[in-house]
Amino acid sequence: MTKGRILIVEDSKQQADLTRELLEKNGYEVVWASDGISGIKTIGTTSFDLILLDLILPDMSGNDVCRWLKLNNDTKGIPIIMLTVKDSLDDKVSSLEAGADEYLAKPYNEVELNVMIYAALRTKALQDELKQRNKQMVELLTKVEFLAITDSLTGLYNRRYFDNVLKKELTEGKRYRKSVACLMMDIDNFKQINDTYGHETGDYVLKEIAASLKTIFREADTIARWGGEEFIVMMPHTDMNGASSPASKILKAIDEKKFDKIPDEHITVSIGVACSGETYNTPDILVNASDLALYEAKRKGKNRIEVAPGE
């Protein structure tokens, strides 16, 4: 195992060989490029932990190479130590402004170079570790946020998330004078399924119906598990005509669906539909209207769609 891979961009082969010998003796893997373009091409095909970059190159300035590397997302994190015979303050400042992490004048002391490389690699390792931890933290927060708004069984949104989205969509609907449709649906005779086959099979039915809902409604629609065997869908910018088609599709899809675990059972849903307007103008009123329409669908025999009064 090497301590790391280092690229030397140096036009003098003699100087490059001396530096390579020194670095390899100290456990580093070394690659040499004789000019700026070759260095950039090499970096594009091989990963490096650090770059020793000569300021004066035959084809372009080391500062230009440095700027290019620091502007590239794939290479900007690689530490660059600028090496040069120029040792004026202006030269140091210009190299640091170009993005160099350190500046070392030639001829350099072996110990000084090793210490500088070690410090640069150690800083890079700490930065990489911090980036990894930040990435893990972001992934964890994303997962927590997802769990906070999702029903764990079906993968649909939960009731709390639905309430928040409905409030926003109703506010926007009022502003732009667009209706919001609300569909409340319930699995018919679901208690009988649980009592006959057990809750595991009941969970299977819930997940299967949730999957069917996802295939029928639009990406802009919000589908949630309302509780128990009830589901609710919010369709923004949708009036009763727009809501009728997907409601009929889901009714038909469930009516015709074969549930592999219980092939002898005929499962259906009942649906209640309401749309926002002058009468149903708040989240609670709109949801209650669709719930009452659902109740009416149940009362009239199930496996049907009913709309709220006044629609």
Q: What is the pLDDT along the chain (311 residues), one digit of tens a residue?
A: 568 999 999 999 999 999 999 999 999 999 999 999 999 999 989 999 999 999 999 999 999 999 999 999 899 999 999 988 877 778 788 888 888 999 888 888 888 899 999 999 999 889 889 999 999 999 999 899 998 999 999 999 999 999 999 999 999 999 989 999 999 999 999 999 999 999 999 999 999 999 999 999 999 999 999 999 999 999 999 999 999 999 999 999 999 999 999 999 999 999 999 999 989 999 999 999 999 999 999 999 999 999 998 76
Tokens at 291, concatenated: 């719930």
Instruction: Name the nearest CA neighbour of 233 among 184, 280, 188.
Output: 184
Tokens at 227, concatenated: 């509780």
CA distances from 123 to 63, 116, 127 (A): 22, 11, 6
**Helix residue ranges, H only, 198-269:** 199-216, 240-256
CATH number for 159-307: choose from 3.40.1190.20, 3.20.20.20, 3.10.180.10, 3.30.70.270: 3.30.70.270
Transcribe 56-123 into DSSP letters: --SSS-HHHHHHHHHHSTTTTTS-EEEEES---HHHHHHHHHHT-SEEEESSPPHHHHHHHHHHHHHH
Residue given tokens 């949630």 in the structure block: 224
Report field, pTM of the whole predicted structure over 0.75: no
Residue given tokens 């009468």 in the structure block: 279
CA–CA separation, 231 vs 247, rounded Å? 12
Active site residues: 229
Strand partners, 6: 30, 50
Can you give the pLDDT at residue 51? 96
Tokens at 78, concatenated: 């690689």
Hey, CA dihedral for 227, 230, 235, 238, is it positive or negative?
A: negative
CA–CA separation, 39 vs 8, rounded Å? 8
DSSP state of 3: S
Long-range contacts of 158-165 (CB under 8 A, 24+ apart): 158/224, 158/225, 159/224, 159/225, 159/226, 159/227, 161/222, 161/224, 162/222, 162/224, 162/226, 162/232, 162/234, 163/283, 165/222, 165/234
Q: What CATH number has the domain spanning 5-134?
A: 3.40.50.2300
- Give domain limits for the chain: 5-134, 159-307
